[in-house]
Amino acid sequence: MYRKGEVSYEALALPDRVQMPPDAALAAAEAFRDYMKRRHSVRQFASDPVPEAVIAACIATAAGAPSGANHQPWHFAAIADPAMKAQIRAASEEEERAFYAGGGGDEWLAALEPIGTGADKPHLTDAPWLIVVFAQRYGVTQDGARYKNYYVPESVGIATGFLIAALHHAGLVCLTHTPNPMRFLPALCGRPAQEKAVMILPVGYPAAEATVPAVAKRKKRLDEVMSVFS
């Protein structure tokens, strides 16, 4: 990460090598693809507790993601406190009621129809954990000077992807919820003014009666999302 005065380059030998033969690489890639197909966005959570150490390990995975200039412009606030979760839910539902009352526009609301979402967000209090992902718009040195962060949306998006994969690997489910704009979140979580909440992930185990929308299983074909130039 950026530290004032540390501007020189030093090369290290590659610390880890995970290279494998082509056949083993293909088998590993296909196995991981099939495993990630079992990841689902879930809105119904069981009340079973999740140890803080599990959440911390998943966030540590996210914190190791690549970032612009290695500035690591993110912070993850893990919330289990019922009062904080209730406050977040109340604010979210207030915004969502305005959205579903027409603020989102006809096209957006129609796009959400097959997903089955609405203004009620019980998952924000039912899930044992909420992880609020913050993007750091700029950094501040120890002596209070600002410095620029680079590719912040891209970096935070990559880290969030790492986090979602880590949660799935730990046997947990989550849901991506985007604040709109819930400006009170930095103060609620004790974060500085330069950080903006970009994602809330309710995290836990799926309820016995958990469902997913059928449309969520419809994915584009590989030839629709991939081009090869060889």
Closest C-alpha to 58, from 38, 76, 44: 76
Give yes or no for residue 179 having a pLDDT over 90: no
Quick check: pTM over 0.85?
yes
In a domain, 29, yes or no: no
In a domain, 183, yes or no: yes
Q: The CATH number of the domain where 158 resides is what?
A: 3.40.109.10
- Token pair, residue 17, equals 């090598």
Peptide bond into 128 cis (omega under 30): no
Which residue carries 């994915």 as its tokens?
Answer: 219
Tell me the sheet residues that pair with 200.
Answer: 132, 177
User: Where residue 59 falls among pLDDT bands split at 50, 70, 90?
Assistant: very high
Domain count of the fold of the chain: 1
* Cβ neighbours around 135 below 10 Å, total: 21
In a domain, 15, yes or no: no
Single-letter residue type at 124: L
- Token pair, residue 181, equals 């704009």
Query: What is the Cα–Cα distance from 134 to 136, expressed in whole angstroms?
Result: 6
Q: Are 173 and 42 in contact (CB under 8 A)?
A: yes
User: Where residue 167 falls among pLDDT bands split at 50, 70, 90?
Assistant: very high
Give yes or no for residue 34 having a pLDDT over 90: yes
In a domain, 25, yes or no: no
Range of the domain at 156: 40-208
